[in-house]
Structure 1
């Protein structure tokens, strides 16, 4: 369910395709397009804004990158001093008071876990660590190792008191991994910061997750391109409930990219096993681990989700990858305003 090599990197790399003039008039005000990028959460984070001046754009984007860095210090499972890792260190002991941000993402995670019956589970940390090791050693985890990790996994064992912001991990040795939701949450937060500084036409991209605000000037929405999503041997399924338009664009040599048009004030996320995987003894295992079995996925699936925000699209993309096409589509139908593209190898 989560990345073995990097807790914040999805499988499908996004290419952004924005067809618009570098400057345009918004009402009576002329705005220009500005783009900035930094490395954050293990990927290149990119922000595009339409602003009246470079100073306004730089100020807003700096504040957004600062917010992303703040969230990384809270939610990283690679930094021993992060708030998340300090909470994990207290597993089995007394409750710990957490920040509003960590409380919020744990509550959102618990809701996705409840609705998916455990297909999404941020307590998957012990399993993720096993598969990170397997990726390096090219040796599968033993049945005993997987079973030992499974005993430490279970979203019901996170006890949350929203009123006091106290959180307890009930089982000693529990480890949390927010790799299936944190980047989406960070994109949403960065977009919120930019909007609060007076810029509504903006896009934030981090790996396989994108949050967009109001459309570019003169456009009905942002136009997003997802690279190399379709070949003849792929079976594809669409569901559209969010008002966006899906189309394919030929990129040559039998490859096609997916274009999502009309995106406005939504989140877009991709997840799957088509790029990041390990092959051991002739069998291919995804970087996404099923928290119910403790095994890397073998179903050769890739998912793109459009939802009301990027926190939702990020966690849904991971969940649908684990559930598979049939159950995943049924699960998506329980959410309002969600569209999905699913492809699998025949």
Structure 2
């Protein structure tokens, strides 16, 4: 997704680089479209105000029309402050975070947690169940075993993989609503919110913007997560989002039109290592403990950004048949998966639940 100069990936979204400043600037286009022959030149859309902040190892951005929303800059800065606070709570890379504390002691006793975190874990457990464990928030030890926790991939032994896999299992994440507490029923279990945290932060930020009556806006969380609310002035259909080509990242591959929807995309183009002539990416199938390798990229459109993020990770590790079965269960979720084509440089395109007028190659 645009902008093309962003280099973050979903797995490193909680690397612990706190925000230092906010940047506010005018931009003419958030997602400029390629030239299309028309009978008449299109009227340019009104310029947008762009507020951004570094958080969760990427750049969070909010786009809106400053004419329609003259107080939008102040509201957007407050929403991005919330994102930074959520990073402090959710990161696994700071010993002082609530999630780090949870990982340290929840295998020994139930731990009361903040309301928002408890609700996020409830949602994560539900999404894990819906995907048959292809998304699993309890797979923290697997990331460590393969070296991706510190962005230094390594080939673990079969025994190490089995040992880490024994700590994974969303069914063993006990959530007690009456006490609002969390307990791990498997020794050594650790949660990692890398596949849902950015989307959750976008959902929370968008809710704050709506409370302040900023209802038409586009929110980016790096390259992997987008949330569109309302529509852009001059485009009643919504907001246009561009997707990079999975093999040629300097080229656009597809465009999507979003309105009150979120888009998440997953791939292993930036985090991987080679061993024994094979390539191993950072997205690990929590069902078998091995990096997924069948899918090039997974893009999902869902009602919320948290769902879009989690489902894009889940579909990345699924087979195409599993993805088709999932799409039948969730008709409100659309997906576009790409695979290697028959010839070098070619790709296969596999849409699920995508309306013809919602996207284009």
Aligned partner of 2:284 in structure 1 is: 289
Residue 318 of structure 2 is aligned to residue 323 of structure 1: yes
Larger relative strand fraction = 1
Correspondent of 1:78 among 93, 105, 126:
93
Q: 2: CA distance between counterparts of 1:4 and 1:295?
A: 17
Aligned partner of 1:27 in structure 2 is: none
Residue 12 of structure 2 is aligned to residue 6 of structure 1: yes
Q: 1: CA distance between counterparts of 2:104 and 2:150?
A: 25
Aligned partner of 1:107 in structure 2 is: 122
CA spacing shift, 1:191–1:203, aligned 2, 3 Å: same
Residue 275 of structure 2 is aligned to residue 260 of structure 1: no
Residue 231 of structure 2 is aligned to residue 215 of structure 1: yes
Residue 26 of structure 2 is aligned to residue 17 of structure 1: no
CA spacing shift, 1:256–1:61, aligned 2, 3 Å: closer
Q: Which deviates further from its counterpart, 268-277 or 128-137?
A: 128-137
Residues 289 and 296 in structure 1, CA contact (< 8 A), matched pair in contact too: yes
Identify the structure with bigger relative contact order (alpha carbons < 8 Å, sequence gap 6+): 1
Aligned partner of 2:296 in structure 1 is: 301
Q: 1: CA distance between counterparts of 2:69 and 2:333?
A: 35
After TM superposition, give the deviation of residue 180 of structure 1 in Å: 0.7
Partner SS for 2:332 = coil
User: Given the two structures, how large is their TM-score scaled by the length of structure 2?
Assistant: 0.79
Q: List gaps (5 residues or longer) in structure 1.
A: 10-14, 24-31, 232-250
CA spacing shift, 1:309–1:5, aligned 2, 3 Å: closer
After TM superposition, give the deviation of residue 103 of structure 1 in Å: 0.8
Aligned partner of 1:168 in structure 2 is: 183
Aligned partner of 2:66 in structure 1 is: 51
Q: Deviations over 1:113-169 (max 9, x none)?
A: 112221111110011012226986664011111111111111111100123211111
Partner SS for 2:290 = coil
Partner SS for 1:38 = strand
Q: 1: CA distance between counterparts of 2:90 and 2:121?
A: 10
Partner SS for 1:35 = strand
Partner SS for 2:178 = coil
Q: Deviations over 1:6-59 (max 9, x none)?
A: 1459xxxxx951568463xxxxxxxx6210111111111111122347861221
Partner SS for 1:122 = coil
Correspondent of 1:334 among 329, 335, 343:
329
CA RMSD of aligned residues (A): 2.5
CA spacing shift, 1:192–1:77, aligned 2, 3 Å: same
Partner SS for 2:335 = strand
Q: List gaps (5 residues or longer) in structure 2.
A: 1-8, 16-28, 34-42, 342-361
